[in-house]
A and B are shown apart, each in its own frame.
Chain A
Amino acid sequence: AQSVTQLDSHVSVSEGTPVLLRCNYSSSYSPSLFWYVQHPNKGLQLLLKYTSAATLVKGINGFEAEFKKSETSFHLTKPSAHMSDAAEYFCVVTPGNAGNMLTFGGGTRLMVKP
Chain B
Amino acid sequence: SQTIHQWPATLVQPVGSPLSLECTVEGTSNPNLYWYRQAAGRGLQLLFYSVGIGQISSEVPQNLSASRPQDRQFILSSKKLLLSDSGFYLCAWRRTAGPLHFGNGTRLTVT
Binding site for B on A (CB under 8 A): 32, 34, 36, 41-46, 49, 51, 90, 92, 94, 96-100, 102, 104-107
> Residue of B at shortest CB range from A48?
B99
Contact for A100 among B6, B88, B90, B96, CB less than 8 A: B96
Shortest Cβ distance from residue B80 to the other chain A in the assembled complex, whole angstroms: 26
Interface of A is mostly: loop
User: Given A41-B107, A104-B43, does the pair A92, B51 have CB atoms closer than 8 Å?
Assistant: no
16 contacts between A and B (CB under 8 A): A32-B98, A34-B99, A42-B105, A43-B92, A43-B102, A44-B44, A44-B92, A46-B99, A49-B99, A51-B98, A90-B43, A94-B97, A98-B96, A98-B97, A100-B96, A107-B43
Q: Are the C-beta atoms of A43 and B105 separated by less than 8 Å?
A: yes
Interface residue ranges of B24-43 to A (CB < 8 Å):
32, 43
11 new A-B contacts, CB < 8 A, other than A42-B104, A90-B43, are: A32-B99, A34-B99, A43-B6, A43-B92, A44-B90, A90-B44, A98-B96, A98-B97, A99-B97, A100-B96, A102-B46
* Chain B interface size range: 20 to 34
0/1 interface trace, chain B 83-111, chain A, CB 8 Å (1 if under): 00000101010001111111111010000
- Please name all residues of chain B whose beta carbon is closer than 8 Å to the beta carbon of A96 when the two chains form the complex: 97
- Please name all residues of chain A whose beta carbon is closer than 8 Å to the beta carbon of B99 when the two chains form the complex: 32, 34, 46, 49, 92
Contact for B100 among A41, A92, A98, A105, CB less than 8 A: A92
Q: Give CA–CA (A44, B105) in the complex, Å.
A: 9
Q: Give CA–CA (A34, B51) in the complex, Å.
A: 21
Q: Are the C-beta atoms of A43 and B43 separated by less than 8 Å?
A: no
- Please name all residues of chain A whose beta carbon is closer than 8 Å to the beta carbon of B101 when the two chains form the complex: 46
Contact for B97 among A51, A106, A107, CB less than 8 A: A51
> Residue of B at shortest CB range from A97?
B97
Is residue B49 within 8 Å, beta carbon to beta carbon, of the partner chain? yes
- Please name all residues of chain B whose beta carbon is closer than 8 Å to the beta carbon of A99 when the two chains form the complex: 97
